[in-house]
Amino acid sequence: MTYRRSSILFVIALLVAAACSQPPPSGSSQTPQTTGGAASTLVWYADTSDLISLDPAVAYEFTGVLLTHNAYETLVKFEGADLATIKPALAQSWDIKDSTSQWDITFKLRSGAKFASGNAITADDVVYSFQRVLKLNKSPAFLFTDIAQIKESSIKASDPSTVVISLPKTASPQGFLAVLTFTIGSVVDSKDVKAKETGGDSGSGYLLDHSSGSGAFVIDHWTKNSEVQLKANPNYTGSPKPALGGVLVKHVPESTNQQFALEKGDADIARNLGAQQITALQGKQGVVTTTGNSLQLVYVGMNVTVKPLDNVNVREALRTAIDYDGIVKDLFKGGAKKVQGIVPAGLAGYNESTPFQADVNKAKSLLQQAGQTAITLELLVPTGPAPGGVAWADLAAKLQSDWKNIGVTVNIKQTTQADLLGTYRAQKGQLVMILWGPDFPDPDANVGPFTDYAAKSIAFRNGWDDKTIAAKGRDAALITDAAKRSAAYKEITDYVLHNGPYVVLYQPTEPFGLRSNVKGFVWSPMDWTDFAAISK
Amino acid sequence: MRFLGFLLRRIVGIAAVMIGVSVITFAISHIIPADPVAAALGDHATDAQIAQFRAEYHLDRPLPEQYFIYATGILHGDLGKSIRTRRSVADDLADSFPATLELSFAALLISIVLGVPAGVWSAVSRGRLPDYVVRVLSLAGGSLPVFWLGLIVIGLFYYQLGWFPGGGRLDTFVPPPPTRTGLYVLDSIFAGNLEALRSSLVHLVLPAITLGYFSTALVARMTRSSMLDVLGQDYMRTARAKGLREPVIVLRHALRNALIPTITIIGLTFGSLLSGAVLTETIFSWPGLGRYATASAVSLDFPAVLGVTLLAAVVYPVANLVVDVAYYWLDPRIQHG
Amino acid sequence: MGKRTPILREPLNVVALALITAFAVCAVLAPLLAPYDPLAQTLSSRLEPPSATHWLGTDSLGRDIASRILYGARISLIVGVVVVALAGVFGTFVGLIAGYAGGLADEALMRFTEVFLAFPPLILAMAIAGALGPSLTNAIIAIAAVTWAVYARLARGQLLSLRRREYVEAARSIGASPGRILGRHLLPNAIAPLLVQASFDMGAAIIAAAGLSFIGFGAQPPTPEWGVMISEGRNFISTQPWLSLFPGLAILFAVGAFNVLGDGLRDVFDPRLRRAG
């Protein structure tokens, strides 16, 4: 009689489970087809908790961008990791015309280009794709509305294989081309998507977890919080044709698990390894490590509305006190690049100058000049790992001890990144340690935010309203001559180096672990890779 | 009639507690100083986008009105929209709950299968070595952090020995069986898919042992202590005097009565398994409620946190109610007396 | 034959009491006992295995693990004591009021208590710590919030069973005030199961705090809290397992000792209550 209770519990649970069960849905993405076997599918382990949507007009987080990049094609592209030259993709050629009141860019589409569905790619598809970005107005839309300043009427199809896009004179055509290499410029199959639109969502519900593009791969299924499966596109008309049969991106947030799986051969590539995992993997059988460059910068923002940070000597002293070499060598084991300017290496306008390295005496004398010898400040730090795989807290502890050497007491306050951004945006931080990544591969994507108070971005958050340098930054964005532009940016970055409210610490490199039989993997600083180039 | 009264009273009680839980969780979620919306939309969101987002999530209304919207929504089965995943919270929960349920059941099963015999053995061999071994292991079970145990278990059984997989619910290239309940073991059986069955069972072992260690220890201790009580009582001496053999005595008389408090404990631990699941799922990459709760709490995604808390707080009382109802029907003594 | 002898008869209890004493000593005297500064980073001697110079090895920033464990004991002791004090006092207070007042107030307070008992502890703690921000203080508040309800129920239960006693009637009949009755007669007797619960909760609070730190909601690095240390060491499990192993053992022994103490106290109090009843 008494053990009945437990057996009742189980029987009831089973009955309830069976009663709640639904018949398997027919032909939906719940029942994925066979994955084509282990031999030709690349297994990619990563923390994919940022994945919200695979719709190119919506995707703005790392994982979404990586997957969308491989399922769609854009008009123009960068090849591999080279961000200096814009290459043709769906557009075989383009022409920028200065029409006095505006810029007109004419794109001629590649002949014979097809979608995965078999439909031909026409100018109407391009128009539809770009217009829906503006209609949906999601996170990446600002690239079209604010940077390129285009409207729905700016995009026209002059014939089935020609698209003309008009930009106002205040926008930069080179910048727009760079924007178009990003996933926001993906061309979707308008015939397919229009048929799947519901309730005026421009097909966003469908494209959330399906692809309708012309990329080397198609989205096979997305099991939420678990995995995304890509399969090779048999109708791919671009090049190179994919060597893999498919890619399986599995959600494994713990970097230790990624390391174990890589060693055991369960994973082919591990995305989120830390510096210590990389060290642990050296010399292990069947495993190699490699790095990719990123365009991110890790920096400390100093709020100039908080005394004594309004004094330029104090800021310079804080910059001078830090042991940058120690950070790169000891904390990151060389997995970071010493960069102190606001434009990262890899972009035009990069300034190699790194004048700062721990000089306690110089820093102290600067403080004395400013008449400040006992300063106490609060450093806001996110929780978790910083880019490059070292904990934010460890980085903060290093800064704290470096600043202690010159008599500045810094109290560390850790909050979640969400919380920190909120405080930072409200200009309520004192010292804020955070990262920044440019939205498109153009120096203006950094210089604008870092110098222009009116852009309500980084300069705004630190209360730095320097109208002269802001104007210089805006002018430099519109210069078309490469040499002149370079010179302009050198002047700007030199100025910010010594006068701005920033302590740029390093530019991270992204470490990856791979099985040694994986070939062709190249990580682009745009935070993606071309799966089509990989074989195993 | 009496049964209906009993049922109604219990349901009203649960509803009252649920209201209290929702009010408190709502209050907690809204005292956050920072704005989760700006964070969710990222660094580059325009003010217009933020305003649009806030309106969508009713964040521009006064608090009592927000709660009212939320409460009425629940009555329609609408738990709001997650700020982080942009999907309906109900959908998110439906996706992650079965995984946690499966893990909890497995842990519970292990607790009973290992805990009860351990407790019996310990009681029967009181004062001798087996007793001490079980007692020390049980003590450890209540004293070690589940996440630490998980790390050790993975390090040893996956990494060093390679006996079991180190995370996830299925092998990489085994597709999940067609969804009927969301519990892969059951679904594999329904579909007759042996490969998926084997794979899902093998993936359950390590996380279930980790999660279940605490409740196994509890069950063992409870069984032991109630067995000791029972073994020393009068009717036991009578049974022995009658000449019944010891094993018969143990099994037929002692065990049955000793199980009563044990069953109660099992019910209680089910609730705590949900808490333990948070940490276990993180370590074993188990796509369940615990991992969802952690991700939501970190991103200040309060509709999701509210949803998880409500679901977790309702599971235990409802499960208990179901068992009580069944018990009521099956036990004539309660019906009539 | 005082209370002491029965509890010391069981060898396990002796060991437990010794461990608790050691724990308290480590915690209080950490600055004197620790060979190194727990926050001092020596990047040249990182990840060293246990040796003569570093008894428990060093971690990823070259900090001495043994010293960090000693300072961690201090943090854990504070966490345990503060949580139990907050939760115990508040909960007992609520329970006593409910039990003594009876009627509608009792009903209302008990519903309130039930709501808190329905929450799965870690999830509520996460919600609170997430809302307030990640820090040890907030973790303590969160854990206390999920712990107090049990004391309310216990206290009320004790009160209800005891108030029927004769001496309460006697005290009332000679005109003693309600406060005096509560304070002099009821409270000391109600305390027994509460003490037992407190002992178990000391351990539970330490584990809960470590759990919250592990997922990033409690104490933050570089604080040498045991949960933080396990979290910092989790990436090194395959190559330098001692980073996570030792803080975990520290938790195991500390919490185990409190659990044994709780068992022992329960054995001591139970027969007394039965006899008194």
Per-residue burial over C227-266, b = 16 or more CB atoms within 10 Å of its CB, e = otherwise: bbbbbbbbbbbbebbbbbbbbbbbbbbbbbbbbbbbbbbb
Q: Which residues of B fall within a CB distance of 8 Å from A436?
A: 43
Q: pTM value?
A: 0.81
How many Å apart are CA B190 and CA B175, to the nearest integer? Answer: 15
A415: tokens are 């909050």
Phi, psi of C210 (to 5 degrees): -65, -40
What pLDDT score was predicted for residue B248? 67
How many Å apart are CA C109 and CA B222, to the nearest integer? Answer: 31
Alpha helices in chain B (DSSP H): 2-29, 36-41, 47-56, 63-75, 89-124, 129-143, 146-153, 184-191, 194-231, 234-241, 246-248, 256-283, 289-298, 302-330, 332-336
Q: Which residues of B fall within a CB distance of 8 Å from A37?
A: 173
- Residue in the structure block whose two tokens are 């202690």: A404
Q: Which residues of C fall within a CB distance of 8 Å from B33?
A: 133
C220 touches chain A (CB under 8 A): yes
Other residues' Cβ atoms within 10 Å of the Cβ of residue B312: 27
Please tell me whether residue B34 adopts helix, strand or coil conformation. Answer: coil
Other residues' Cβ atoms within 10 Å of the Cβ of residue A264: 15
What pLDDT score was predicted for residue C190? 64
The mean pLDDT value for B61-82 works out to 82
Model confidence at B324: pLDDT above 80? no
Closest residue in A to C223 (Cα) is A393
C239 touches chain A (CB under 8 A): yes
C221 touches chain A (CB under 8 A): yes
ipTM over 0.85: no
Nearest one of A438, A449, A448, A436 to A504, comparing CA atoms: A436
**DSSP run (H or E) holding A495:** helix A482-499
Biggest distance spanned by C-alpha atoms of chain B: 86
User: How far is CA C26 from its chain centroid?
Assistant: 17
Please tell me whether residue A336 adopts helix, strand or coil conformation. Answer: strand
Nearest one of B156, B138, B276, A385 to C245, comparing CA atoms: B156
- Residue in the structure block whose two tokens are 């930009």: A167
At position A437, the amino acid (one-letter code) is G
**DSSP run (H or E) holding A219:** strand A217-223
Other residues' Cβ atoms within 10 Å of the Cβ of residue A431: 27
What pLDDT score was predicted for residue A393? 85
CB A148 within 8 A of CB A210: no
Contact B167 A257 (CB under 8 A): yes
- The residue count of chain A comes to 536
What is the spatial order of strands in the sheet that A155-159 belongs to?
A91-98, A102-109, A162-168, A155-159
- pLDDT, tens digit, for every residue of B229-270? 777 776 667 766 776 666 666 666 666 666 666 666 666 677
How many Å apart are CA C249 and CA B143, to the nearest integer? Answer: 10
**B20, B155, B308: residue with CB nearest C111:** B20
C38: tokens are 């727990």
- pLDDT, tens digit, for every residue of C80-90? 999 999 999 99
Smallest Cα distance from A94 to chain B, Å:
29
Q: Which residues of B fall within a CB distance of 8 Å from C147?
A: none
**DSSP run (H or E) holding A442:** none
How many Cα atoms are found within 13 Å in the side-chain-facing hemisphere of B172?
A: 25
How many Å apart are CA C33 and CA B24, to the nearest integer? Answer: 44
Model confidence at C251: pLDDT above 90? yes
CB A75 within 8 A of CB A69: no
How many Å apart are CA C216 and CA C230, to the nearest integer? Answer: 12
CA dihedral over A332, A334, A340, A342, signed as positive or negative = negative
B292 touches chain A (CB under 8 A): yes
CB interface of C with B, residues 211-240, below 8 Å: 211, 214-217, 227, 230, 234, 237-238
Low-confidence stretches of chain A (pLDDT < 50) are 1-7, 18-36
Per DSSP (E only), the strands in A398-479 are: 408-415, 431-436
- Residue in the structure block whose two tokens are 């987080």: A61
CA dihedral over C55, C58, C62, C66, signed as positive or negative = negative
Please tell me whether residue A348 adopts helix, strand or coil conformation. Answer: coil
Overall fold of domain C7-26+65-273: MetI-like fold (1.10.3720)
Please tell me whether residue A363 adopts helix, strand or coil conformation. Answer: helix
How many Å apart are CA B181 and CA B176, to the nearest integer? Answer: 12
Model confidence at C273: pLDDT above 50? no
Which residue in A256, A282, A328, A380 has the most chain C C-beta atoms within 10 A of its own C-beta, making it the best mutation to test that interface? A256
**C133, C135, C220: residue with CB nearest A393:** C220
How many Å apart are CA A196 and CA B33, to the nearest integer? Answer: 41
Biggest distance spanned by C-alpha atoms of chain A: 92
At a CB cut-off of 8 Å and minimum separation 6, what does C44 contact? C62
- The residue count of chain C comes to 277
Phi, psi of C48 (to 5 degrees): -85, 140
Please tell me whether residue A59 adopts helix, strand or coil conformation. Answer: coil
How many Å apart are CA A343 and CA A348, to the nearest integer? Answer: 8
What pLDDT score was predicted for residue A232? 94
- Angle at which helices B302-330 and C103-118 cross, to 10°: 110
Contact C130 B17 (CB under 8 A): no
Tell me the average pLDDT of chain B: 81
A308 touches chain C (CB under 8 A): no
B200: tokens are 């899902």
How many Cα atoms are found within 13 Å in the side-chain-facing hemisphere of B251?
A: 5
Smallest Cα distance from C78 to chain A, Å:
21
Contact B16 C248 (CB under 8 A): no
Please tell me whether residue A501 adopts helix, strand or coil conformation. Answer: coil
